[in-house]
Structures are given as structure tokens and as C-alpha cells.
């Protein structure tokens, strides 16, 4: 990862994510934005390799930006970081194009591990998020597709 974007309105969290990403991806150049409009301006010329996006932002839902960035720059690896752990937020983020969903209440070490594991091909998903995804699929009577 050479270029990244952090879209987060809470300053201490933005700094934590900045420090973690600098550690996980040694020579990454990071842009930071507080609003969706700022983020769109910063990526107008070229999409980042990775974008870390909060959901609740001053000018709208971060999921709008996730959809925008993944449709505009399909190569951008987009991750949602949030305090929201409800199925609607998680499924909404994944439907918008996010490749991961990390809860902000995890320890710094766990957050760092999630980012480092991206280079190993592991999706950045908090354990609580994985449990909710399994429960959602188990409870939604989705059609079963069997190999033929």
C-alpha cells in the first residue's frame, strides 16, 4: 500500500488510525479528511490504494463515500471502522463495497493486526462482526445454492 485515505471526524481516532496505518504499511502516504466532501476532493485526481472510512460523519453517511470510492476507483481497498455493530450497518457497508469492517472498541494491538493481515490476504473483520454476519445468514432464509 503506497497511498491511503482516512475519513474520520473524531480527531483522537483519526490519529490512532494514522499511527496504526503508518506502522502496518511502512511507507504509505496518508491523506486525512473529516467530511465526505473533503475526502472526495482529496481523491479526485487519483484513488488511494486503501481507504478507511467512518460511518457517522458531519455531512452524511460514510457508506455513501464507500459506494463512491469503490465505484470510482475499483482497486481501492475500502474498510469501514465504526462503533456501530448492528447488522444493518455491517451489511450496508459490505453491500456498498467495503472489504472489511472493524469495530473501534478493539485494542490498538488488534487494530494493528487487522491492518497487517491485509497483506496476508485476510479480510479485516472484527470477531463480533463475523458472529453477526453468520447469525444474519443463518436467520435470513436465503436461497441455498448447491453445486451441480
Q: Helices in 45-126 by DSSP H: which ranges?
A: 62-72, 87-96, 108-118
Q: Flag whether pLDDT at 147 surpasses 70.
A: no
- Say how far residue 39 (Cα) sits from the centre of its chain: 14
Q: Flag whether pLDDT at 142 surpasses 80.
A: no
Q: Which of 10, 11, 37, 30 is nearest to 115 (CA)?
A: 30
Domain boundaries, the chain: 3-139
Direct distance between the N- and C-terminal alpha carbons of the chain, in angstroms, rounded to an integer? 39
pLDDT value at residue 144: 64
What pLDDT, in 10s, does the model give residues 36-85? 999 999 998 889 999 999 999 999 999 999 999 999 999 999 999 999 99
Contact 7, 57 (CB under 8 A): yes
Q: Is the dihedral of CA 85, 88, 91, 94 positive or negative?
A: negative
Query: What's the fold here for domain 3-139?
Result: Rossmann fold (3.40.50)
Q: What is the mean pLDDT of residues 85-103?
A: 95
Amino acid at each position: 500500500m503506497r497511498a491511503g485515505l482516512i475519513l474520520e471526524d473524531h480527531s483522537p481516532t483519526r490519529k490512532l488510525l494514522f499511527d496504526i496505518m503508518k506502522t502496518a504499511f511502512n511507507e504509505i502516504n496518508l491523506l486525512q479528511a473529516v467530511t465526505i466532501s473533503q475526502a472526495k476532493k482529496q481523491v479526485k485526481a487519483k484513488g488511494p490504494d486503501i481507504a478507511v472510512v467512518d460511518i457517522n460523519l458531519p455531512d452524511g453517511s460514510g457508506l455513501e463515500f464507500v459506494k463512491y470510492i469503490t465505484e470510482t476507483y475499483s482497486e481501492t481497498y475500502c474498510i469501514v471502522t465504526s462503533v456501530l455493530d448492528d447488522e444493518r450497518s455491517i451489511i450496508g457497508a459490505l453491500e456498498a463495497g467495503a472489504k472489511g469492517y472493524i469495530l473501534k472498541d478493539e485494542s490498538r494491538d488488534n487494530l494493528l493486526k487487522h491492518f497487517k493481515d491485509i497483506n496476508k490476504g485476510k479480510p479485516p473483520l472484527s470477531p463480533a462482526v463475523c458472529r453477526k454476519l453468520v447469525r444474519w445468514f443463518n436467520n435470513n432464509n436465503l436461497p441455498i445454492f448447491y453445486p451441480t
